[in-house]
Structure 1
């Protein structure tokens, strides 16, 4: 039987975690799980019910609804990756908006939300052969993962990438707003009480501020092969 490992990718927002995770999963024939999409879907649910707005956040109402929130991934052959479904509806595009980005970090601070999603994530990866990216994969979800990566880049570089991505998609966005969002998410993710964004002790840090996608992929694949070839 071919050896399979768990690859945990953590790091700040807009560092390209999902991009590299998808590439690795495709190359290795592994399952890819975008945990950020799961938190975004819960955030979208809260927004749809007006539990969270610019002026209010009715945490208890969201917590009460958690048992009814069903999240699932469905593979899209044309796109080459699995899309996020919320209660049976494809919400892949809806969860990628700036509005959702603005509220996802506060929603992710709720312990009950994290507990529900971490349990689901651990179930998905129980048989290894998985690439998962997020904020607490190497520290909380899979502390025993064979390969842990921690992605970082300057806030300005990350905001520029996010701006280009949204512009290319046809969204009307403002660069300063995106930069502020990136910085605020960094602050919330790093200071929350439950599972803050921290680099696992055995994680390999990768600053891709000035790194091309090809160089990044080759460097990480080398790390993967080292783990796969280890007896």
Structure 2
């Protein structure tokens, strides 16, 4: 179902909340809390290509990188039933694919490489667009990504573009890595974030940008609770009942 179909007679209507913005701005945490409080589905769009890449690898479709079969990848993608649900741990999302819980391996760098191999195919991108839009036909939805409010759900009830300075996001990443016992290089992380921002904003397909009707919120100097409170208040103004 496309976003325009959401207004058709006799079509079940479910609210959609889009939280877009760059990595490290706090989208995942606020989306998790909204989904928990509202009892909505959660869409972690950043995981979708990783899921397709992982499943394609398991199916042997990535064994010959010189002869990847776009049609086979499209068929595989269309056959995936993907569901996200907030787990009991703050910010953690459980991913269920075809009724099987997918572990955290989907987040590692190896699977990230698989994701980059499948993401180049237009038929895969189109199949994932349809999959995401279909999620809005099941129940209320909180969608976390970079183009949710501009491309995937342009008719969403609530659109928020959550950002933060590159420096603030780099500091958060350093603290995250250090808290897990890993070594973190602030300068390297900042450079990587700045480079990724440029790629995301300048790409020709679905660039990262705020929708014209989105609430713009800079989280650089805000706590997670303050960000959530502002977005919750905005959702209430838009008619979302908590």
TM over 0.5, yes or no? yes
Q: Which runs of 4+ in 1 moved over 6 A?
A: 46-50
TM-score by length of 1: 0.79
Instruction: Name the residue aligned to 2:36.
Output: 26
The 2-side partners of 1:199 and 1:111 are apart by 23
The 2-side partners of 1:86 and 1:26 are apart by 20
Instruction: Name the residue aligned to 1:193.
Output: 204
Q: Give 1:12-51 correspondences, 5 Å limit.
A: 12-44=22-54
Q: Does structure 1 conserve the Cα–Cα contact (< 8 Å) formed by 2:22 and 2:163?
A: yes
- Which secondary structure does the structure 2 equivalent of 1:14 belong to? coil
Indicate whether 1:122 and 2:133 are aligned: yes
TM-score by length of 2: 0.75
Alpha-carbon offset, residue 208 of structure 1: 0.3
Instruction: Name the residue aligned to 2:76.
Output: 68
Can you give the 5+ residue segments of structure 1 that lack an aligned partner in the other structure? Answer: none
Q: Does structure 1 conserve the Cα–Cα contact (< 8 Å) formed by 2:61 and 2:73?
A: no
Classify 1:119/1:161 alpha carbon distance in 2 versus 1 (closer, same or farther; 3 Å). Answer: same
Classify 1:67/1:100 alpha carbon distance in 2 versus 1 (closer, same or farther; 3 Å). Answer: same
Alpha-carbon offset, residue 33 of structure 1: 1.3
Alpha-carbon offset, residue 133 of structure 1: 0.8
Alpha-carbon offset, residue 224 of structure 1: 0.9
The alignment yields a C-alpha RMSD, in angstroms, of 3.4
Could you report, residue by residue, the CA deviation over 1:172-206 in whole angstroms, capped at 9, with x for unpaired residues? 55434432332222122212222111211101111
- Which secondary structure does the structure 1 equivalent of 2:144 belong to? strand
Q: Does structure 1 conserve the Cα–Cα contact (< 8 Å) formed by 2:174 and 2:184?
A: yes
The 2-side partners of 1:50 and 1:190 are apart by 30
Indicate whether 1:169 and 2:180 are aligned: yes
Alpha-carbon offset, residue 63 of structure 1: 6.5
Alpha-carbon offset, residue 210 of structure 1: 0.6
Q: Which moved more, 1:107-116 or 1:197-206?
A: 107-116
Task: State the aligned residue count.
Answer: 225
Q: Does structure 1 conserve the Cα–Cα contact (< 8 Å) formed by 2:25 and 2:162?
A: yes
Alpha-carbon offset, residue 167 of structure 1: 3.3
Classify 1:178/1:15 alpha carbon distance in 2 versus 1 (closer, same or farther; 3 Å). Answer: same
The 1-side partners of 2:43 and 2:131 are apart by 11
The 1-side partners of 2:66 and 2:23 are apart by 25
Q: Give 1:108-187 correspondences, 5 Å limit.
A: 108=119, 110-187=121-198
Q: Does structure 1 conserve the Cα–Cα contact (< 8 Å) formed by 2:158 and 2:214?
A: yes
- Which secondary structure does the structure 2 equivalent of 1:228 belong to? coil
Alpha-carbon offset, residue 18 of structure 1: 0.9
Match of 1:93 among 70, 93, 104: 104
Can you give the 5+ residue segments of structure 2 that lack an aligned partner in the other structure? Answer: 1-12
